[in-house]
A and B are shown apart, each in its own frame.
Chain A
Amino acid sequence: MSTIAVPEPMAAYRENFERQAEGPDWLDALRREGFERFESLGFPTTKNEDWHFTSVAAIAEQTFHPAMVSSPDVTSEGSTAGMVAPADLERFNFGELGWHTFVFVNGEFSEDLSSFAGLPKDVRVTSLATAIRSGIGRPERHLGKIAAYDSHAFTALNTAFIRDGAFVELQANVVVEQPIHLVFVSEGSGEAIAHPRNLIVAAPNSRATVIESYVSVRDSCYFTNAVTEISLGEGARLDHYKLQRESAKSFHVGTVQVRQARASQLHSFSFAVGGSLARTNIYTSLDGDGATCTLNGLYLTDGTQHIDNQTSIEHIAPNCPSHEVYKGVLDGRSHGVFNGKVYVHPEAQKTDGKQSNNNLLLSPSARVDTKPQLEIFADDVKCTHGATVGRLDELAMFYLRSRGIGPETARMLLTYAFAADVLEMIELEPLKKALEEMVLSRFAAA
């Protein structure tokens, strides 16, 4: 009887799209472009080369509601802040009270939960919603210009629903000592979807550390579809940490897309432990001579989790080094995926690219698919990649046991040592310590 051609979840997206509050003309136009792209792309299938090992059917077949957020005319009683108490967040901020912390609940900025008193004045962090409303910092100069919504369905979907997120502007030559911590917390009413959209614009020679934490206060099923756009000016340096610690039942797709000008530096670290189906995309484009990037990551999976990491490094300008180390520890019946692309354009001579991906399979039913990929069109380059998959080294186990260390402890030590390799590359000491402890206790418990 029904003649609806569009599947139900798609119809729901359209309904929600049309229902959202109007913004300035430029934003409405951008959202519409995003939505049209999303509708024509549809959710990717495993036939799409970029999603070969990851089926998003579980996301595509479910109808999500826009996450509950406050509206301007509702009193604080109905505001999102009421759903999350400051105490709920303590375990996510690593006990670091000096950090400039900005909290977003269901994708919406919560001033009550945030603390950023000591922020230097050459740095402006605003909620994107405020910036859109007031025009501060003119986010339209960058929004949608960096993240490729024309070819990535989830980025297009996020673009269609741009609403709020963090807008970080660093003025030239500013050095921000304390990290800026953006905490995206899902309050976790079921089947909610949030589309946090962040924009980081670093003027020449500025320097800062930005941490994005994706967390949840309740163990429920929701979907976070985040996009962060980053523009690094000449000589700017950004240390970017993405900590994906969503609830075990949730879905997470997060894209970080960067453009790097001459001599800029990106140090990215991606930590992924949460979600039932999670995907992190870190894409950077080395546009200017001598720009460098380091992309590191660690993913730990268990149960029936599926965690996918995709990175892409576009070498457009010459003399750019790029380094990448991703490690995975897979337990239970979980499935880990790594796909690293290094693309060297014809003009990008003297490129020095190194990429490696190591996977440790702890259980017989764990599974990993890895695809390190090089595409090279310049001749004067040095590019290498390596990938390994294996289990714990029996000789090393034997060595430890011959010294009186029990099998569980030996297993824990070796697993930790495997993961700690990449954690050691974290330059932010308190975070390194916190993650090391978190990983250690995880393996000790297992």
Chain B
Amino acid sequence: MSSGIEALVNREYAYGFVTDVETDTVPPGLNEDIIRLISAKKNEPAFMLEWRLKAYRRWLTMKEPHWGNVKYPPIDYDSLVYYSAPKSVRPLQSLDEVDPELLRTYDKLGISLTEQKFLSGVAVDAIFDSVSVGTTMKEELSKHGIIFCSFGEAVQNHPELVEKYLGTVVPHSDNFYAALNAAVFSDGSFAYVPKGVKCPMELSTYFRINSRNTGQFERTLIIADEGASVSYLEGCTAPKRDENQLHAAVVELIALDNATVKYSTVQNWYSGDAEGKGGIYNFVTKRGKAAGVNSKISWTQVETGSAITWKYPSVILQGDNSVGEFYSVAVVNRKQQADTGTKMIHIGKNTRSTIVSKGISAGEGNNSYRGLVRVLPKAEGARNYTQCDSMLIGNKCGAHTFPYIEVQNNTATLEHEASTSKIGEDQIFYCKQRGVSAEHAVSMIVSGFCREVFKELPMEFAVEAQQLLGITLEGSVG
């Protein structure tokens, strides 16, 4: 590896700063009192508290799962802080009241709430530690009857919708982290697109973990009513800290008859330093239910950050003719570990799913694709196409594929393809011969490798994703 390349590889995490904002934090540890406290702080109706307590009691009986192909020291759940909010955030009437320090943070991140509001036509909900600090473009959206706000506001203003849909896709008892999230989640985003409405702009949430020892547990719920369609973007960053931070979010998507939900993530949590110290544990449960006929749920993710990524954005294909998609690029470098993939559960007739997963491993990173395609007996004519490709850069990293294919209906057609390869020396030679530097050649080849996924991303994110990929990877090949 040349020194220029070294420099690139060792490039600092650009979003690692800490914002000095006064926070309102609950004592560390978890018990029913903490949950009552969180619920009270958020002024929640009784059904929410009950649901949280139910989840907490269930969580106590559950064991931390260890089947993933990831290794980490035990997490002390009693030392975590389960609620941390910027103090000046409430009561918040308009964006002008947002702590200027916070707005500067988002500026540094390239998410200027005010600018975005006027220029980009993207509605942004920004989550700082656990609390939503501002939602832009609300008025424009409300003209169409679209509700897009923080989860906390939704609980206050639209409790009937929350009560109807909360936990219907990821039940409080789903898994260890989902139960924990259900018990303690503090905020998140909520979107409801009414019947027949095509959301006129991209909805977006930016997540930021700031406080020390804080677990971030946000919960996102997106509902597309009959004939509606919505595209949603999510981005994440965190400051550099030596200790690991836990991020256990839950995302639930619901698409009713003829509705479409598209969910895109660019995940760039702090991944830890070169020795693998610090970084975010990203243990997330994401699931969509294509509940109605002809409904469609599409996940696109670009995973470049986090010390450990462990998530499987899934689709339950319940409605007849429903469609599920999963496009993923996961990059690991240094000592990062990623165990990610998807689950496509075919229940309805003529359901179709597509999985395209691109894994890139460099440094001492380990990347696993773990996917499940299950065709239940009544899913006549189900169709799945899966392609998962891995690329290895160096021989200290690893690439793993664990696809599970379970078919109980003989009218189903499934295809699974996987390949692993490295960047060919001849490819690099070809580029160099034409005056393209090795580093640039690698970045071109990797971009090409990921193209099928990047083209699924909305424009703004596609650019960011390309850059992130460059930061994480470029130069790790010599």
Contact = CB atoms under 8 A, between A and B. Distances in A.
Interface in A364-421: 364-391
Nearest to B370: A373
A363 interface: yes
A372 B416 CA distance: 9
Interface in A24-56: 49, 52-53
B427 interface: no
Contacts of B420: 374, 376, 381-384
Contact of A379 (B392, B400, B408, B418): B392
Given A384-B417, A384-B420, A385-B401, A377 B395 contact: yes
B372 to A, nearest CB: 10
B416 A380 contact: no
A378 B395 CA distance: 5
B419 A383 contact: yes
A349 interface: yes
Nearest to B400: A375
Contacts of B390: 374, 376
Is chain B's interface secondary structure helix, strand, loop, or mixed overall? strand
B398 A391 contact: no
B402 A369 contact: no
19 contacts: A361-B407, A363-B410, A364-B377, A364-B410, A367-B408, A374-B390, A377-B398, A378-B392, A379-B394, A380-B422, A381-B392, A381-B421, A384-B419, A387-B415, A387-B416, A388-B416, A389-B405, A389-B413, A390-B413
A359 B407 CA distance: 10
Contact of B403 (A362, A364, A384, A387): A387
Contacts of B404: 52, 369, 371
Given A385-B418, A390-B413, A371 B396 contact: no
A346 interface: yes
A366 B377 CA distance: 10
Interface residues of A, number: 37
A230 B454 CA distance: 48
Contact of A373 (B375, B377, B401): B401
A386 B416 contact: yes
Contact of A391 (B67, B408, B411, B418): B411
A346 B396 contact: yes
Interface of B: 67, 375, 377, 390, 392-422
The residue in A52, A53, A381 that gathers the most chain B C-beta atoms within 10 A of its C-beta is A381
A364 B409 contact: yes
B61 to A, nearest CB: 18
Contacts of B421: 381-383
A371 B417 contact: no
B102 to A, nearest CB: 43
Contacts of B422: 379-381
Given A371-B405, A374-B420, A385-B418, 7 more contacts: A346-B396, A372-B401, A374-B401, A375-B400, A383-B420, A390-B414, A391-B410
Is chain A's interface secondary structure helix, strand, loop, or mixed overall? strand
Contact of A372 (B67, B392, B418): B418
Interface string A314-349: 000000000000000000000000000000001001
Contacts of B402: 371, 373
B417 A386 contact: yes
B410 A387 contact: no
Nearest to A374: B401
Contacts of A376: 390, 392, 398-400, 420
Contacts of A387: 403, 405, 414-416
Given A367-B408, A376-B398, A381-B392, A388 B403 contact: no
A152 to B, nearest CB: 20
B331 to A, nearest CB: 15
Contacts of B419: 382-385
Nearest to A343: B400
A422 to B, nearest CB: 18
Contacts of B405: 368-371, 387, 389
Nearest to A362: B410
Given A368-B407, A374-B420, A379-B394, A388 B414 contact: yes
B62 to A, nearest CB: 16
A379 B414 contact: no
A367 B404 CA distance: 13
Contacts of B395: 346, 349, 377-380
B140 to A, nearest CB: 47
Contacts of B375: 389
Nearest to B418: A385
A367 B407 CA distance: 6
- Nearest first, the 4 A-B pairs at minimum CB distance are A361-B410, A379-B392, A387-B416, A383-B420
Contacts of A374: 390, 399-401, 418, 420
A367 B410 CA distance: 8
A385 B390 CA distance: 12
Contacts of B399: 374-376
B392 A388 contact: no
A379 B397 CA distance: 8
A383 B359 CA distance: 14
Interface string A117-132: 0000000000000000
A369 B398 contact: no
B307 to A, nearest CB: 20
A412 B393 CA distance: 48
B412 A389 contact: yes
B407 A373 contact: no
Contacts of A359: 407
Contacts of A383: 419-421
B117 to A, nearest CB: 46
The residue in A349, A362, A387 that gathers the most chain B C-beta atoms within 10 A of its C-beta is A387
A391 B421 CA distance: 31
